Amino acid sequence: KLQILALLVVITSCSKSKVFTESDIQIIPKPASVQLENGVFEFSENTQFFIENQSQKEATTTLVNKFKKVVGWNLGFSETAPQHNYIQLSVDESFAKEAYKLEVHTDFIKITANGNSGFMYGLETVRQLLPIEIESDELVKNIDWIIPAIVVKDQPRFQYRGLMIDVSRHFFNKEYLEKVIDRLAMHKMNVLHLHLVDDQGWRMEIKKYPKLTDVGAWRVDQEDKHWSARETTDPNEKGTYGGFFTQQELKELVAYAASKNVEIIPEIEMPAHVSCAIAAYPELSCFEKPIGVPSGGVWPITDIYCAGKEHTFEFLEDVLLEVMEIFPSKYIHIGGDEATKTNWKICPHCKKRMKDENLENVEELQSYFVKRMEKFINSKGKKLIGWDEILEGGLAPDATVMSWRGVKGGIEAAKQGHDVIMTPGTHCYFDHYQGPQNEEPLAWGGYTPLSKVYQFDPVVDVMTPAEAKHVLGGQANLWAEYIPNEKQSEYMIFPRLAALSETLWSPKELRNWNDFSSRISTMFNRYELLNINYAKSSYLVSA
């Protein structure tokens, strides 16, 4: 018996003195600087957080919950320095927002940052240094919770690191979006852009216009009837497929996101991609023809908001007032893409508006529309974002441009001194295929494998340093015409989000595809334990 005991002691002490090497450090996104030291820190039931104030507890939630789940520990907190076995969160105001320094010693861990976002990212790095079993959903046994002694100095390359989720083409509920937020935080991403309005459904409760969700949130067919959508837009047929968020749910979601350093940017589309609103209130369109909520991406859509009637602007201002009540984000996204303006050319109200405002063509009329919305948004202390079509006919004075039709809109906007978020279809469209089409579930089209996402860079060579400064960052877009459920949504997001996160976070000179593609396999193991339905195909396909 004694011999067995002695053997056990040897085995456990061996594993604890495990020597970590560079190749054991598989953090995604890759930190700006990592220096491995000798020794390890071991977590135990008695590990405590040494905090300066109670509000810092929020940054520790993910790790605390993980230890609770996998070993049943309740890691404690102390505002006075413990002797050893603690994780110190230390404020240093000279640090940039989101930056952190992580020092792991044998006796203690110290994370220095300017506030909770940095602490949270430091702890996300700790999470990725821990054995992958930390991601487990159930109790795990016989694991030594050790991490290597290390010094990590880290900060993001870009301040804007986003993912857009289209909840219109298919509705995804709050519980799912909370999971998305958790996973964004895990990848050190910080923006969730919610596409709340598109032809196929209005997804936010608006108290002043209840029909937006009574009527506009429901369509007839679950499945996307892409090319035959006209057949399904009978205004008399009441749809039953869809859903929407109450304002209360959105408030809770915003608060949840904020606790993970994720900002939610709401998008209320205008003047096009709004069949759902016109189905609810036909008077918002030029000719007031009754339509139903379409079940697919019907194209072209001629029923758009009327730019001539004052009522359209009153309606949109009322809607945005309610939106701004719920979303504290400084940005309001007003869409602006793909507006087929054939009705505007013949509508008497629009023609009168063009005459009164001295506008030469319908592009200028759209520009008038956007500028007017911008004035309103600015008057409430917020900033407008729009898709790159808002460049046409003249950009609103302070608008931020989301460049999706390649990067040229972004380059042009930066030239004009506007802020830019790069989200080119070529690299950032997660509704595109990520493997050979015959092996993949139905997708929108396109081909954007993991390696292609990894090649993305929001700053383009032709930009001057001054123009490049206007590039706030980048974003992936998950348009949901062909994303009918959560499993498929996860499949399209992962692992491409990992590649995007590294593009947006890590120093450019550290980015290396071979290195990334070897680190991603550890991330896959984490995804497995987290029950994320990630696409394995994309790993196998190289550029």
Measured from the CB of residue 178, what is the shortest distance to ligand TNX in angstroms?
Answer: 24
End-to-end CA distance of the chain: 58
Measured from the CB of residue 269, what is the shortest distance to ligand TNX in angstroms?
Answer: 9
403: exposed, middle or buried (Cβ count in 10 Å: 0-12, 13-18, 19+): buried
Q: Which is nearer to ligand TNX, 98 or 431 (CB)?
A: 431
Spell out, one character per residue from 278 to 317, where the chain touches ligand TNX: x when CB under 6 A holds, - when not: ----------------------------------------
Q: How far is CA 402 from the centre of its chain?
A: 14
Measured from the CB of residue 450, what is the shortest distance to ligand TNX in angstroms?
Answer: 18
Cα–Cα distance, 530 to 185 (Å, whole number): 14
479 binds ligand TNX (CB under 6 A): yes
Q: Which is nearer to ligand TNX, 90 or 222 (CB)?
A: 222
Q: Which is nearer to ligand TNX, 288 or 337 (CB)?
A: 337
Q: Which is nearer to ligand TNX, 90 or 340 (CB)?
A: 340
Instruction: Find all residues with CB under 8 Å of 54, minimum gap 6, and list them.
Output: none
For 311-336, give the DSSP string.
Answer: HHHHHHHHHHHHHHHH---SEEEEE-
Measured from the CB of residue 164, what is the shortest distance to ligand TNX in angstroms?
Answer: 9
- On the CB side of 226, CA atoms within 13 Å amount to 8
* Interacting positions 356-415 with ligand TNX (CB under 6 A): 387, 404
Q: How far is CA 406 from the centre of its chain?
A: 19
Site size toward ligand TNX, by CB under 6 A: 9
Measured from the CB of residue 294, what is the shortest distance to ligand TNX in angstroms?
Answer: 12
Q: Which is nearer to ligand TNX, 481 or 490 (CB)?
A: 481
Measured from the CB of residue 274, what is the shortest distance to ligand TNX in angstroms?
Answer: 12
444 binds ligand TNX (CB under 6 A): yes
Cα–Cα distance, 479 to 432 (Å, whole number): 9
Measured from the CB of residue 412, what is the shortest distance to ligand TNX in angstroms?
Answer: 16
The 10 Å Cβ neighbour count of residue 398 is 14
Q: Which is nearer to ligand TNX, 218 or 404 (CB)?
A: 404
Q: Which is nearer to ligand TNX, 429 or 454 (CB)?
A: 429
Q: Which residues are catalytic?
A: 198, 273, 338
Q: Which is nearer to ligand TNX, 385 or 460 (CB)?
A: 385
Measured from the CB of residue 442, what is the shortest distance to ligand TNX in angstroms?
Answer: 13
Cα–Cα distance, 411 to 467 (Å, whole number): 8
Q: Give how far Cα 465 sits from Cα of 271, 283, 460, 468, 469, Å.
A: 34, 48, 10, 5, 6
CB 37 within 8 A of CB 21: no
Tokens of 393: 């006919």
CB 541 within 8 A of CB 434: yes
Cα–Cα distance, 446 to 403 (Å, whole number): 17
Among 37, 182, 252, 337, binds ligand TNX (CB under 6 A): 337
Q: Which is nearer to ligand TNX, 125 or 233 (CB)?
A: 233
CB 279 within 8 A of CB 293: yes
Measured from the CB of residue 413, what is the shortest distance to ligand TNX in angstroms?
Answer: 15
Q: Own/partner pairs for 111-117, CB < 8 Å, 24+ apart?
A: 111/87, 113/89, 115/91, 116/55, 116/56, 116/58, 116/59, 116/261, 117/59, 117/190, 117/261
429 binds ligand TNX (CB under 6 A): yes
* DSSP bridge partners of 474: 161, 422
Cα–Cα distance, 436 to 151 (Å, whole number): 41
431 binds ligand TNX (CB under 6 A): yes
Cα–Cα distance, 276 to 293 (Å, whole number): 5
CB 530 within 8 A of CB 495: no
Footprint of ligand TNX (CB under 6 A): 337-338, 387, 404, 429, 431, 444, 479, 481
